[in-house]
Amino acid sequence: MSALPLHRRHGVRLSFRYLIAALLVVIFCFPVYWLFIISFKTPDEIFAFPPVWYPESIQFSNYKVLFKDGDAATVGNSLILASVSTFFAMIFGTIAAYSLVRFKTGGENLAVWIISQRMMPPVAIVFPIFLLYVWLGWVDSYFGLIILYTAFSLPYVIWMMRGYIEDIPLELEESALVDGCTRWEVLWKVVLPMARSGLFATAVFTFIFAWNDFLFALVLTRTEVTTYTVQVTHYFGGQSNFWAKIAAMSVLGTIPVFFTVAVMQRYLVRGISMGAVKG
Amino acid sequence: MSDLKITNLHKHYGAFHAVKGIDLDVPSGEFTVLVGPSGCGKSTLLRTIAGLEETSSGSIEIGGKDVTWARPRDRDIAMVFQNYALYPYLNVKDNIAFGLRARKFAEAEVEKRVARAAEMLGIGHLLTRFPRELSGGQRQRVAIGRAIVRDAILYLFDEPLSNLDAQLRDDMRVEIKRLHKELKRTMIYVTHDQIEAMTLADRIVLLRDGLIEQQGTPLDLFERPKTRFVAGFLGSPKMNFVPATLTAAGVKLADGTALELPGRSGLKAGQAVMLGLRPQHIAMAGTHLAKGHVRVPVVIELVQPTGSRVQATMPLGGTSIIAELGAHDVSRPGEKAEIDIDMTRAVLIDTTSDKII
């Protein structure tokens, strides 16, 4: 090495770094690529050996089947459940967080108790909830799952929003109060705009939690409001696995999250770091 | 008519008694400055007037209406905060219009008023900017704009200039004084800066430990302080305090120097007192000794020129005092000089009660 002039040595090191980086990109991206590419393959191509690294032609028949059989509707179910529960969790959670911060509701301990609810392993409560839902007649209904997802997300929303609201200078709110706003107007016109980044970041994570939920949906749904996560498992059969359907369904399940994160990226980065560093 | 009437106001924070029974009457159109050292309760008092802090006991009337338990929005007040309290997500125009829109003013009226306030403050060209694009002074103008755009009975200012640098602070002080002359509104202004208090106020209310120490016009407080605290708080450089003992004709300092006090009768000889001398009332010895003055030889210890004047430190009766002398009167430490003290302006303070005799 010492024989090489300084700028050459620097160049070697740089290309080495690029090589490592390229390798990592391939390792991380390959599974995603493979998922997408399987969803466009014919059954022959899927099982071909050596593997077909890229299909001759892109064909959508795997997706057509999902839409024709109505399987794709489960993605719609997930979308409805995740969006509506996120919407309600954000509304109630933000109001509760504001109350905790500004009025010290419940003293110091209530906030800790609330977040402790989030520590509960879902599997510990899913069967009692199932029995309760059977009794209430809420099993396999949008209503039941929305209530559950909302309740399960609330501690997280409250905890996160509490941090963001604490960072808002009190003077801004006081100024609005003097200027003629009610508390509700202060929440709407000052707190929400000020906590906007945090609000979006929290909403994205809340949405993704409900979107990715498998356990509650598995236990609490039958046929009416099956989510896409549960639907995917239907393709694992005793005799055979329907890889084409699994892949296509997984792609359908990935796209909404992918777009949400892509669109919200600006807020996500700011929102996450906003809570981390005060002021 | 008085726009603000406070009766026996108390404010507790748990065990801490921040405001300890304040009575205050502010007539219409007056510029009242609440001043005092930090922790004296002046900001708490202002925030209680605004309704941002709950009253512990006592009553507050604004515009003849009892508002002790009213919400801030129902008090007919406007307020300028120390940290400007501008909404970063609204531009200047929307910031100024915020209060009017919250009170459901017609948009045409909002436009008119915002334009007028902006013109008055010289920020008409900044209306589309956002707060982060403004300098500190511009932000402060917008904050003031937000207050004056409304027709409130009472305008409250909570240390509005304390975040600005010295030069800007002087400019904004002039601006606020001009606004008061133009608007003729009742303003209550909190500051810890005695120069702001002296220059702005129609009336100064000097607070100490949650109580009013003394109130009156700036000159009244400056020339006729009732306590040692008032005498020491107002004026720059501060009043000098020299321990002394009363004699039949005047005072005797610790080192035996006797100073004659003209026109004083009924002094109790032998009583321990503080002699209060303002730096402005000490001058270099002239060709003849003016009536009521005493001449004392001193050795200059320290010289601090301010340009137009020089602040000279020197020992007097065992204590270091500061005298404000002419710019060329003294030039270096160690210099011997003679000073004339105007004893007619000197104050005597009872050392046990700290009251002026």
Q: What is the ipTM of this complex?
A: 0.86
Output the pLDDT for position A276.
Answer: 44
Residue B151 is assigned to a structural domain of this protein: yes
**Do B71 and A177 lie within an 8 Å CB cutoff?**
yes
For A52, the token pair is 């077909």
Q: How far is CA B12 from each of CA A39, A44, B15, B21, B206, rounded to the nearest angstrom?
A: 70, 82, 7, 11, 20
A123 and A19 together in one domain: no
Strand partners for A36: none
**Exposed, middle or buried, B189 (CB in 10 Å: 0-12/13-18/19+)?**
buried
| Low-confidence spans in chain B with pLDDT less than 70 | none
DSSP state of A190: I
Last residue in a domain, options B233, B266, B286: B233
> Contacts by A35-44 with C-beta closer than 8 Å and gap 24+?
A35/A247, A35/A250, A35/A251, A35/A254, A36/A247, A36/A251, A38/A243, A38/A244, A38/A247, A39/A63, A39/A244, A39/A247, A39/A248, A39/A250, A39/A251, A41/A244, A43/A244
B58 and B170 together in one domain: yes
Q: What total of structural domains would you count in chain B?
A: 2
Residues 6+ apart with CB under 8 A from A107: none
For A68, the token pair is 């024709």
Residue A2's pLDDT band, with cuts at 50, 70 and 90, is low
Distance CA A278, CA A143 (A): 38
Output the pLDDT for position A271.
Answer: 66
Residues 6+ apart with CB under 8 A from A93: A153, A154, A156, A157, A158, A161, A202
DSSP for A40-69, please give it. Answer: TS-HHHHH-SS--SS-SS---HHHHHHHHH
Closest Cα to residue B256, out of B296, B300, B312? B296
Closest Cα to residue A253, out of A83, A75, A85? A75
Note whether A70 and A133 are within 8 A (CB). no
A54 and A160 together in one domain: no
pLDDT 10s digits, A221-276:
988 899 999 999 988 876 777 888 899 999 999 998 888 888 888 777 776 665 44
Closest Cα to residue B278, out of B244, B318, B325? B325
A81 and A122 together in one domain: yes
Structural domain boundaries enclosing B286:
257-350
Residue B115 is assigned to a structural domain of this protein: yes
Q: How far is CA A205 from each of CA A10, A250, A272, rounded to the nearest angstrom?
A: 42, 19, 11
- Using DSSP, state whether B12 is helix, strand or coil: strand
Last residue in a domain, options A31, A63, A95: A63
A139 and A201 together in one domain: yes
Distance CA B345, CA B356 (A): 13
Nearest-Å Rg of the Cα atoms of chain A is: 24
Question: In this structure, are strands B2-13 and B57-62 parallel, antiparallel, or unpaired?
Answer: antiparallel
Output the pLDDT for position A277.
Answer: 41
- For residue A50, whether the previous peptide bond is cis, meaning omega lies within 30 degrees of 0, is yes
B267 and B186 together in one domain: no
DSSP state of B318: T
A176 and A58 together in one domain: no
A179 touches chain B (CB under 8 A): yes
**Do B85 and A181 lie within an 8 Å CB cutoff?**
no
A89 and A178 together in one domain: yes
A11 touches chain B (CB under 8 A): no
Nearest chain B residue to A193 by CA: give it: B89
Q: Which helix or strand (DSSP H or E) is residue B289 part of?
A: none
- Using DSSP, state whether B342 is helix, strand or coil: strand
pLDDT 10s digits, A105-118:
888 889 889 888 88
Residue B304 is assigned to a structural domain of this protein: yes
Residue B183 is assigned to a structural domain of this protein: yes
Chain B residues within 8 A of A182 when measuring between CB atoms: 71, 73
Residue B340 is assigned to a structural domain of this protein: yes
Note whether B62 and B78 are within 8 A (CB). no
DSSP for B69-96, please give it. Answer: T--GGGS-EEEE-TT----TTS-HHHHH
Note whether B127 and B114 are within 8 A (CB). yes
Q: Which of A169, A172, A178 sits opposite B72 (nearest CB)?
A: A178
Closest Cα to residue B261, out of B243, B252, B222, B286? B252
B223 and B291 together in one domain: no
B285 and B186 together in one domain: no
What CATH number did the domain enclosing B271 receive?
2.40.50.140
B96 and B165 together in one domain: yes
**Do A174 and B72 lie within an 8 Å CB cutoff?**
yes
Three-point CA angle A244, A249, A255, nearest 5°: 125
pLDDT 10s digits, A141-187:
999 999 999 999 999 999 999 999 999 999 999 999 999 999 999 99
Dihedral sign, Cα of residue A173, residue B146, residue B56, residue B197: positive
B275 and B219 together in one domain: no
Note whether B1 and B163 are within 8 A (CB). no
Note whether B232 and B222 are within 8 A (CB). no
B306 and B215 together in one domain: no
A7 and A85 together in one domain: no
Question: In this structure, are strands B309-316 and B319-326 parallel, antiparallel, or unpaired?
Answer: antiparallel
- The total of other beta-carbon atoms located within 10 Å of residue A36's CB is 14
A58 and A87 together in one domain: no
What CATH number did the domain enclosing A247 receive?
1.10.3720.10
A190 touches chain B (CB under 8 A): yes
Residue written as tokens 């009017």? B100
Query: What sections of chain B are H helices per DSSP?
Result: 42-50, 92-102, 107-121, 136-148, 166-183, 194-200, 218-223, 228-233
B218 and B329 together in one domain: no
Last residue in a domain, options A28, A63, A98: A63
A85 and A17 together in one domain: no
Note whether B5 and B25 are within 8 A (CB). yes
B222 and B270 together in one domain: no
For A187, the token pair is 């929440």
B203 and B291 together in one domain: no
User: What is the distance in angstroms between the Cα of B89 and the nearest Cα belonging to chain A?
Assistant: 7
pTM: 0.84
- Mutation for A interface: B47, B81, B159, most A CBs within 10 A: B81
A7 and A88 together in one domain: no
What CATH number did the domain enclosing B60 receive?
3.40.50.300
B302 and B342 together in one domain: yes
Q: What total of structural domains would you count in chain A?
A: 2
Q: Which of A178, A182, A185 sits opposite B79 (nearest CB)?
A: A178
Structural domain boundaries enclosing A132:
69-277
**Exposed, middle or buried, B97 (CB in 10 Å: 0-12/13-18/19+)?**
buried
Closest Cα to residue A126, out of A153, A148, A150, A104? A148
Last residue in a domain, options A63, A83, A105: A63
Residue B269 is assigned to a structural domain of this protein: yes
For A276, the token pair is 């981390």
Residues 6+ apart with CB under 8 A from B122: B141
- The total of other beta-carbon atoms located within 10 Å of residue A197's CB is 20
- Mutation for B interface: A168, A174, A178, A274, most B CBs within 10 A: A178
Distance CA A171, CA A181 (A): 14
Chain B interface with A: residues with Cβ < 8 Å: 50-52, 71-73, 75, 77-79, 81-83, 85, 87-89, 98-99, 102-103, 146, 150, 156
A97 and A170 together in one domain: yes
pLDDT 10s digits, A15-67:
999 999 999 999 999 999 999 999 998 888 888 888 888 877 888 888 998 89
A182 and A137 together in one domain: yes
B178 and B307 together in one domain: no
Nearest-Å Rg of the Cα atoms of chain B is: 24
